[in-house]
Amino acid sequence: MGPYLAVIVDSFRAASASRVLWIALAAVILFLIALAPVGYRENVVTRVSPRDIVDAQRLAQRLRTDLKNPSDRPSARIAAALPETIQQQIRRSDQPQSETRLDEQAFADAFSELLQNDDAWYDAEAWQSTTRLRELRQLDDLSASQLSEDQRLRRARLRLEAGLRGAIRPRPEKTLSLTYATFSTPAEWPLSQYLFRQTLTSLVLPPILNGLLGIIGIVLGILVTAPILPEMLQPGSLHLLLSKPVSRPLLYLAKFLGGCAFMLMCVGPLLVGVWLILGWRFDLWLGRLFYCIPVYLLLFMVYYSVSCLAALQWKSPIVAALVAMGFWVACGAIGIASSYMDEWVSEPARLTGVTLTGVTLTGVSTGSLDEIDTSERESGEQVAAGQRVVFGNTRGGELQYWDQTNRRWQTVALEDYPGEVILGPVPIGNQQFAATRKSLRPFGVSGEGVLALVDADEQFAVRRGGKLPGGASRILSTSDGAVLAFGSGGVAVATAERLREGPAAEVSGGGLFGSLTRLLNSGTKDFQSVLPGEVFLQEPFQVALLASDDVILYSAGTLKRIDRQADSLQWDLVASAEVQGDVSREAVLGASATTVAVVRKDEPIQLFDADTLEAIGELQPPGDRTIVSLSGDPHSDTLAVRFSDRSGALLKTGPTPRLADLPDSLSGESLELLRYDHQGRLLAVYDHDSVRLLGDLAGPPELELEPRLSSWRMINEYLVQPLRYVIPQTGELRAETVRAALSGEDTQEFGQGMFAEQVRRQLNVKRPVFTCLGFTAVMLLIGGIIFTRQDY
Amino acid sequence: MLATSPAVSPPIVTVEDLRKTYRSGLLGRPLSALRGVSLEVHAGEVFGLLGPNGAGKTTLIKTLLGIVRKSGGRARVFGQPVGTWRSRNRVGYLPENLRVEKHHTARSALHLYGRLSRMSGAEIHRRSEELLGKVGLAGRDRESVRRFSKGMYQRLGLAQALMHDPDLLILDEPTDGLDPVGRSEIRQLLLQLRGEGKTIFLNSHIMQEVEAVCDRVAVMARGTLRGVGSIEELTAHSGPERFELVVLGDVERVRAALPDTLASTATLSIDPASTTHPTPTCFLQIQCSDAAQIDACVDALRHAGLSIRRLQPPVQTLEDAFFALVDEAHPGEALPGEATGAEVR
């Protein structure tokens, strides 16, 4: 390898002799000098801010009860210690005509005042029954003399959180503010160090590095390295090289690798500098940063391989640079076209939920699930009673039903229900379904939160149903057609009959404040809260409905089972358990006939007995995959598991829990959804919007829906996507592989709460690497063949 | 002269019926650069290759080095087919118009080319010291080649060609672009190498250079070999020779004195410088097939009372031989490239 290494080393020398390199390095050093003073400061969270109050009105209601019935309960002691003016406002808050409504700010100020003197309201004995976080337990173990003022205030705040569990959002011990040299930004972020580092590595660093290295570095690299090969191809230089005892393809490869030296010499110092600054200023020794060196080098190699091929053909540095830049533009254009197709055509068509009549709800069943009746029915024609109806929710926020005649999904008209996410549909009897559309934005809950009732018997006509509680983010239906709504306000229920009456008129509040208050209200005239008094819902939460209408709730690290009382719309708390691990992380929940499974990112799957919620075991998920959904078989101990890479598995939770492969008919499919229905059949959505229902896992599917492609999807499928596979995925390499390399995560999440599963996206980490490597290899192979066969 | 006769030393380069056709233009128009060339170069000899531009000399060299692929025939170097790395491993090459990348010094360039010739670091160091002195670049070896003159480039080129101590040196126009002093120095170096027993394949169009250093010479034109042999062999005559005599007397007297057999081929002219003299001097050129004829001519002139000042036997230079050979097969035809304007490499 000596001769070829000599060529590569020589290229390093050539690069180091380039003025452009030194200019680039000087720019890198200036950038690093400018970046070096950036840092952060941690501030201990010792106050209560308005954003910490979950729901001011519910809190007022709770404290009002405590004030009316004084006791030694923590919440009553806190209520009694509040300033007299606040107490009066709380007492008056149940009066509809009350002019002074308590808001979050008022509570935050009052609580912050309480923190100054916790001796006035804290009593160790009274707090014995509360759930104390480890941090509070540690602080409680310290004597007064061992505590700093900040620690004392922090302890008071934690006591307040424990005493008013569910009413005050837990905050990490510290908030962060950014600093630049000795200056500090006024804004403080309630981020833990973990979240701050995650934000830094997944949201801040990637765009900065992409701008510097992915765009400026690449363009500069193309321009600077374009003359290297034409220079070698000059007769006086080339003939001498070719007269040496060296292989032509290897000489070409060595010259190519040598050309990459320039990029390496730019990328290396920049990343080492950023690594040092992150370590020094942020105490973040991010070794993963160095993964970016091969990634950006690969990105450059893609364009440089094109430049070299052009140089072989035309022997001109200008033409080589122009061709490489042209290719860069073409890659970008195809990448953008592909992204647009994904965003507007492909992604919106993906099904995130499927509802089958007669399957999801046994009480509403109009018969067993046979083949869909296709006899002579035109699109949109009235559905005969007893026919099967299949609904699908798309990621694009459309509610669709299956039109078997045309083999297409048809859209249900929900124009009056703006938003991006469909809740439901859930069957409420008589071929009627309840659904609505909501916004993902925290305060963009559009419309009035009214349920839409879709009549399959009347050409899928839509009419207004009951009004959902504010903050509801998921709806399920019970066996008798009642609708359960889950959200930050709690769990509420409405009967089918009540919903059919349409939304009840609400008492009008005052202006914007009144509207906001209504949005955050837990109950409405139509929905009544069903949670037992001792059960609160706190983000992040998840819910699983069992076949018996019993509910498993996961709420900020706590698992609860609430069972429905016979012949009533009331639920009782029957079991509770703590889930070990990081309570702030989103969880995925699933429940089979015997087992409840909970998994959070980077944690093992924790298994609990479905009846008692006793922990029965753990199972480590497969190494590099994240679980995005769990769904239990109501008749066995099996759960269907879907991973972020759209693969799936079956979780057998017997004496020895294990993950088993999916049946052959589903293996290899790109799964959009995988769950059990209430009859224990496995329902899978694959290839965007195709549906397969398996009763017998080894047998043929009971139902298979494969829709015809729309013209835009055909263009995407047969033109844009093949092009995307032919050309290297440089855009994805910059955006997704770099992001994954920096964050160490292979999924990207948008939003929080129960929507998280819908917006968790698998990052394309490996595919761009493979396409870029493959493309570069092909370019080098072609170049090597040309260089070998050509006479010079 | 060589210690070993070229005729008995083993051939290092063997070329038999070598052909090379280039394709040019969109339609791939064929252009023959070598049309069946056959020659041998023996160990220890300095072999010169002469020919006009476009004769195919550089193509022949590039074929021997594997830089271009032959279209037909056979060519072997050190018994190995041309183009194999084994054959190239024992060859040192100085290309025409050598280019060395600007970031190099003489020493770093020698290091790179030494590495390309698969030499170790120690060997490279030792040979660099030796050769930099030999080619006259000692003391300037750490200067950037940007500051090098054409002559220094050529010296550096020679040094790199000699780095791995090759058995065969192929030099393409080594003195091209050099001033007379530079040419003389290179020539001395070649003679020194010849003295060391190196086999040198020298491509040049400078006749004096070839004549001064080469043991054998091949003349090429239009892609074919027109002649090959030692300088003596190429310049040797056969058939009638043309003599030149300087005679004291006017043209008419001289013509009248000549024997009838020679008068028809004789060319006479007056020396312009002697027209003012009482007895002018006349230049006479005659073609004689043997010594008896020249004797008869001298006798006849003396008999007529004319005084012969000088009798010059025929002398043919390499240049004469070159032109004769180039023009031999196609007298009066323009050389390739001259007629078409195309350059044959």
Residue at token pair 């570095």: A217
Of B85, B93, B111, the CB nearest to A240: B93
Tokens coding A242: 């070719």
Asked if residues B200 and B209 have their Cβ atoms less than 8 Å apart, the reply is no
Q: Does A788 touch chain B (CB under 8 A)?
A: no
Q: How far apart are CA B325 and CA B329, in angstroms?
A: 7
Kindly state the percentage of chain A with pLDDT values over 70: 87
B-chain residues near A245 (CB < 8 A): 85-86, 88-89, 116-118
Query: CB–CB of A240 and B113 under 8 A?
Result: yes
Least reliable range by pLDDT among A556-565, A712-721, B53-62, B232-241: B232-241
Kindly state the percentage of chain B with pLDDT values over 70: 90
Asked if residues A463 and A470 have their Cβ atoms less than 8 Å apart, the reply is no
Report the pLDDT value the prediction gives residue B319, as an integer from 0 to 100. 78
Report the pLDDT value the prediction gives residue A379, as an integer from 0 to 100. 35
Q: Does position A262 have pLDDT exceeding 70, yes or no?
A: yes
Least reliable range by pLDDT among A349-353, A368-372, A602-606, B147-151: A368-372
Q: What is the pTM of this model?
A: 0.69
Q: How many Å lie between the alpha carbon of A16 and the closest alpha carbon of chain B?
A: 9
Kindly state the percentage of chain B with pLDDT values over 90: 25
CA quadruple B50, B54, B55, B57: dihedral positive or negative?
A: positive
Residue B274 buriedness (CB in 10 A; 0-12 / 13-18 / 19+): middle
Residue from A352, A387, A573, A562 nearest A474 by CA: A352
Strands B80-81 and B72-77 turn out to be antiparallel
Query: CB–CB of B67 and A792 under 8 A?
Result: yes
Q: How many Å lie between the alpha carbon of A7 and the closest alpha carbon of chain B?
A: 7
Q: How far apart are CA B123 and CA A332, in angstroms?
A: 50
Of B89, B112, B170, the CB nearest to A245: B89
Mean pLDDT for the stretch of residues A608-622: 87
Q: Please list, in sequence order, all residues whose beta carbon lies within 8 angstroms of the beta carbon of residue B245, skipping any fewer than 6 positions away.
A: B283, B284, B285, B286, B297, B301, B308, B310, B311, B312
Least reliable range by pLDDT among A32-41, A345-354, B212-221: A345-354
A204-231 confidence digits (pLDDT tens) = 888 888 888 888 888 888 988 888 889 8
Tokens coding B166: 């090759």
Query: CB–CB of A235 and B113 under 8 A?
Result: no
A276-333 confidence digits (pLDDT tens) = 998 988 888 888 889 889 999 999 999 999 999 999 999 999 999 999 999 999 998 8
Distance from the Cα of residue A772 to its chain's centroid: 27
Largest CA distance in chain B: 81
Residue scoring higher pLDDT (B92 or A379): B92
Residue scoring higher pLDDT (B164 or A565): B164
Interface of B with A in 107-146 (CB under 8 A): 108, 111-113, 115-118
Q: Does position B332 have pLDDT exceeding 80, yes or no?
A: no
Residue scoring higher pLDDT (A327 or B315): A327
Q: Does B56 touch chain A (CB under 8 A)?
A: no
Q: Does position A506 have pLDDT exceeding 60, yes or no?
A: no
Q: Does A461 touch chain B (CB under 8 A)?
A: no
Query: CB–CB of A231 and B101 under 8 A?
Result: yes
Q: Does position A38 have pLDDT exceeding 80, yes or no?
A: yes
B-chain residues near A791 (CB < 8 A): 22, 62, 67-69
Nearest CA in chain A to B115: A3
Q: How many Å lie between the alpha carbon of B281 and the closest alpha carbon of chain A?
A: 56
Query: CB–CB of B113 and A244 under 8 A?
Result: yes
Nearest CA in chain A to B84: A245
Query: CB–CB of A243 and B88 under 8 A?
Result: yes
Residue scoring higher pLDDT (A780 or A134): A780
B-chain residues near A2 (CB < 8 A): 115, 118
Residue scoring higher pLDDT (B253 or A764): B253
Mutation target to probe the A interface, by most A beta carbons within 10 A, among B115, B117, B153 is B115
Q: Using alpha carbons, list the distances in angstroms from residue B247 to A767, B265, B277, B282, B295.
A: 97, 17, 14, 5, 15
Q: Which H or E run contains A390?
A: strand A390-394
Mean pLDDT for the stretch of residues B6-16: 78
Q: How many Å lie between the alpha carbon of A326 and the closest alpha carbon of chain B?
A: 25
Query: CB–CB of B95 and A236 under 8 A?
Result: yes
Q: Does position A169 have pLDDT exceeding 90, yes or no?
A: no
Mean pLDDT for the stretch of residues A461-488: 81
Least reliable range by pLDDT among A489-503, A680-694, B161-175: A489-503
A-chain residues near B91 (CB < 8 A): 243
Residue scoring higher pLDDT (A242 or A508): A242
To 5 degrees, how large is the angle CA A416–CA A417–CA A419? 135
Report the pLDDT value the prediction gives residue A625, as an integer from 0 to 100. 74
Which residues in chain B belong to E strands, given as ranges?
11-24, 29-42, 46-50, 72-77, 80-81, 91-94, 168-172, 199-203, 216-221, 224-230, 241-248, 267-270, 281-288, 307-312
Q: Does B91 touch chain A (CB under 8 A)?
A: yes
Report the pLDDT value the prediction gives residue B345, as an integer from 0 to 100. 38
Mutation target to probe the A interface, by most A beta carbons within 10 A, among B63, B101, B110, B176 is B101
The mean predicted confidence, pLDDT, of chain A is 81
Confidence bin at A536 (pLDDT 50/70/90): low
Confidence bin at A558 (pLDDT 50/70/90): confident
Tokens coding B16: 């038999």
B-chain residues near A315 (CB < 8 A): none
Report the pLDDT value the prediction gives residue A263, as an integer from 0 to 100. 83
Q: Does position B302 have pLDDT exceeding 50, yes or no?
A: yes
Of B67, B99, B116, the CB nearest to A236: B99
Cα Rg of chain A, angstroms: 31
Q: In what order do the strands lie in the sheet with A638-643?
A: A627-632, A638-643, A648-652, A658-660
Least reliable range by pLDDT among A684-693, B290-299, B312-321: B312-321
Mean pLDDT for the stretch of residues A651-671: 85
A-chain residues near B86 (CB < 8 A): 245
Query: CB–CB of A245 and B102 under 8 A?
Result: no
B62-79 confidence digits (pLDDT tens) = 999 989 999 999 999 998
Report the pLDDT value the prediction gives residue A361, as an integer from 0 to 100. 30
Q: Does position A113 have pLDDT exceeding 80, yes or no?
A: yes
Report the pLDDT value the prediction gives residue A37, as an integer from 0 to 100. 92
Q: Tell me the HSE value of A612 on the side-chain side, using a 13 A CA sphere.
A: 4
Report the pLDDT value the prediction gives residue A521, as an integer from 0 to 100. 43
Q: Does position A487 have pLDDT exceeding 90, yes or no?
A: no
Residue scoring higher pLDDT (A353 or A448): A353
Q: How far apart are CA A379 and CA A689, in angstroms?
A: 19
Q: Using alpha carbons, list the distances in angstroms from residue A414 to A462, A463, A470, A677.
A: 7, 9, 19, 26
> Which of A125-139, A392-406, A592-606 ranks highest by mean pLDDT?
A592-606
A-chain residues near B124 (CB < 8 A): none
Q: How many Å lie between the alpha carbon of A1 and the closest alpha carbon of chain B?
A: 9
Residue at token pair 């192979």: A781
Report the pLDDT value the prediction gives residue A364, as an integer from 0 to 100. 29
Q: Which H or E run contains A605?
A: strand A605-609
Confidence bin at A505 (pLDDT 50/70/90): low
Asked if residues B254 and B246 have their Cβ atoms less than 8 Å apart, the reply is no
Helix (H, G, I), strand (E, B) or coil at B18: strand
Q: Does position A609 have pLDDT exceeding 70, yes or no?
A: yes
Mutation target to probe the A interface, by most A beta carbons within 10 A, among B22, B70, B116 is B116
Report the pLDDT value the prediction gives residue B5, as an integer from 0 to 100. 42
Helix, strand, coil content of chain A in percent (nearest 5): 40, 20, 35
Q: Does position A782 have pLDDT exceeding 80, yes or no?
A: yes
A-chain residues near B78 (CB < 8 A): none
Mean pLDDT for the stretch of residues B268-279: 81
Interface of A with B in 229-248 (CB under 8 A): 231, 234-237, 239-247
Q: Does position A736 have pLDDT exceeding 50, yes or no?
A: yes
Asked if residues A270 and A24 have their Cβ atoms less than 8 Å apart, the reply is no
Residue from A202, A171, A157 nearest A42 by CA: A171
Q: Does B57 touch chain A (CB under 8 A)?
A: no
Report the pLDDT value the prediction gives residue A368, as an integer from 0 to 100. 31
B-chain residues near A10 (CB < 8 A): 101, 112
Which residues in A430-557 belong to E strands, given as ranges?
432-438, 450-455, 461-467, 472-477, 483-487, 490-494, 528-529, 541-545, 551-555
Tokens coding A72: 């030694």
Query: CB–CB of B85 and A17 under 8 A?
Result: no
Query: CB–CB of B115 and A14 under 8 A?
Result: no
Nearest CA in chain B to A790: B68
Asked if residues A6 and B109 have their Cβ atoms less than 8 Å apart, the reply is no
Partners of B13 in beta bridges: B41, B77
Of B88, B111, B170, the CB nearest to A244: B88
Confidence bin at B314 (pLDDT 50/70/90): low
Asked if residues A499 and A483 have their Cβ atoms less than 8 Å apart, the reply is yes
Asked if residues B171 and B200 have their Cβ atoms less than 8 Å apart, the reply is yes
Q: What is the ipTM of this complex?
A: 0.79
Strands B168-172 and B199-203 turn out to be parallel
Q: How many Å lie between the alpha carbon of A175 and the closest alpha carbon of chain B?
A: 54
Report the pLDDT value the prediction gives residue A515, as an integer from 0 to 100. 44
> Which of A78-92, A426-440, A466-480 ranks highest by mean pLDDT?
A78-92
Q: How far apart are CA B55 and CA B52, in angstroms?
A: 6
Partners of B21 in beta bridges: B32
Kindly state the percentage of chain A with pLDDT values over 90: 13
A-chain residues near B176 (CB < 8 A): none
What is the DSSP code string of A458-490? GTTEEEEEEEPPTTEEEEEE-TTS-EEEEETTE
Mean pLDDT for the stretch of residues A669-680: 85
Nearest CA in chain A to B88: A245
Residue from B132, B164, B147, B162 nearest B100 by CA: B147
B206-260 confidence digits (pLDDT tens) = 888 888 888 899 998 888 988 888 888 887 755 567 788 888 888 888 888 888 8
Mean pLDDT for the stretch of residues A744-756: 56
Least reliable range by pLDDT among A427-431, A492-496, B140-144: A427-431
